[in-house]
């Protein structure tokens, strides 16, 4: 878990700030791509090279005092070294800036090509990080979380033990983006693993994710200039490049074990924001005093709960 290289020495940081945070035109987009290529030559440190059940990475920004405070709070609470060891987990904070001389130093991961960007262009960082993580085949599961996420390492690790990390899995707390009504005939709802809740990729899927990340980064820069929701962009990347959809791995378990109950609970809840729920999923043309009714749209039904656990429950 040592610190190597000089990843905090960013001679291009001022240029990066202007390019990524400022407005975009074609020239600035070209400069961003050039900066990504140049920064790829910088030093790095990774996860410890021992077989690990769960590896968690958290992108943090050197510009954010909040990130610094939350990272330290994590190390003093859910990410304490003894809790990591007890759960068979490793936690790393992905930083462009140096953390030498701070409590974060032994837990910092520096990624070649990583850039200091504002939060709304976090997808630039996330896709580069996933591309880099493809070399770590000793993590059975890799989880992305936010600096303000509280991760119950033992609970997540125990839940993931139900799955085979050698298989291809993309798991998360499922959220949805539901298209406006006039576009639903052309576009289905998009389901994604919520970034703040943490989404997980298995060791079996990781090489494919790493390989397609550069193409997804290029597509994302062309479409959004980097200004997008990272969890949505990541789900789109896996959907378009790999035909992989997110699956819920939540604990939705009925008390009984009969087949009719299992069928009833075979779908997990998903989350939409308030405005979508009000404007797109609920009947606004009700009379005063009548309860809200949910429209049953063909493209807005929740994805199935992952089967891991159901077979075990049915044979108990």
Per-residue pLDDT tens digits for 18-71: 333 334 455 655 554 444 444 433 434 567 778 899 999 999 998 888 999 999
Q: How many CB atoms lie within 10 A of CB 217?
A: 24
Structure pTM? 0.71
Give the span between the Cα atoms of 272 and 42, in whole angstroms: 40
Whether 269 has a pLDDT exceeding 60, the answer reads no
Comparing CA positions, the residue from 220, 216, 225, 229 lying closest to residue 24 is 225
Q: Topology of 13-248 in CATH?
A: Spore Coat Polysaccharide Biosynthesis Protein SpsA; Chain A (3.90.550)
Beta pairing class for 52-59 and 89-94: parallel
- Asked whether 56 and 91 are in contact (CB, 8 A), the reply is yes
- Biggest distance spanned by C-alpha atoms of the chain: 66
The tens digit of pLDDT for each residue in 102-117 reads 999 999 999 988 888 8
Q: What pLDDT is attached to residue 154? A: 92
Residues 6+ apart with CB under 8 A from 272: 175, 176, 177, 178, 280, 281
Where do the domains of the chain lie? 13-248
What is the DSSP annotation of 196-230?
TT-EEEETTTHHHHHHHHHHHHHHHHHHHTT-S-H
The tens digit of pLDDT for each residue in 244-263 reads 999 887 654 444 444 444 44
């Amino acid at each position: 878990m040592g610190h190597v290289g000089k990843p905090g020495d960013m001679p291009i940081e001022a240029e990066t700030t202007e390019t990524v945070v400022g407005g975009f035109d074609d020239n600035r987009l070209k400069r961003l791509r050039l900066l990504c290529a140049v920064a790829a030559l910088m030093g790095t440190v990774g996860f410890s090279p021992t077989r690990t059940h769960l590896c968690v990475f958290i992108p943090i920004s050197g510009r954010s005092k909040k990130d610094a405070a939350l990272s330290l709070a994590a190390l003093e609470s859910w990410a304490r070294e003894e809790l990591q060891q007890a759960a068979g987990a490793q936690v790393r904070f992905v930083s462009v800036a140096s953390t030498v001389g701070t409590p974060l130093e032994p837990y910092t991961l520096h990624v070649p090509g990583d850039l200091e960007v504002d939060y709304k262009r976090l997808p630039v960082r996330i896709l580069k990080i996933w591309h880099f993580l493809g070399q770590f085949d000793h993590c059975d599961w890799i989880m992305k979380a936010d600096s303000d996420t509280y991760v119950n390492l033992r609970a997540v690790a125990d839940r993931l033990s139900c799955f085979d990390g050698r298989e291809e899995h993309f798991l998360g707390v499922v959220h949805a983006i539901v298209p406006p009504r006039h576009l639903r005939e052309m576009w289905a709802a998009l389901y994604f693993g919520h970034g703040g809740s943490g989404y997980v990729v298995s060791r079996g899927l990781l090489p494919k994710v790493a390989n397609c990340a550069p193409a997804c980064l290029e597509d994302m820069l062309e479409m959004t200039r980097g200004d997008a929701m990272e969890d949505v962009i990541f789900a789109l990347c896996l959907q378009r490049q790999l035909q992989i959809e997110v699956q819920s791995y939540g604990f939705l378990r009925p008390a009984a074990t009969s087949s009719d109950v299992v069928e009833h609970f075979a779908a997990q809840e998903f989350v939409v924001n308030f405005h979508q729920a009000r404007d797109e999923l609920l009947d606004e043309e009700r009379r005063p005093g009548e309860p809200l009714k949910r429209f049953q749209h063909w493209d807005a039904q929740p994805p199935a709960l992952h089967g891991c656990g159901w077979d075990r429950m049915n044979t108990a």
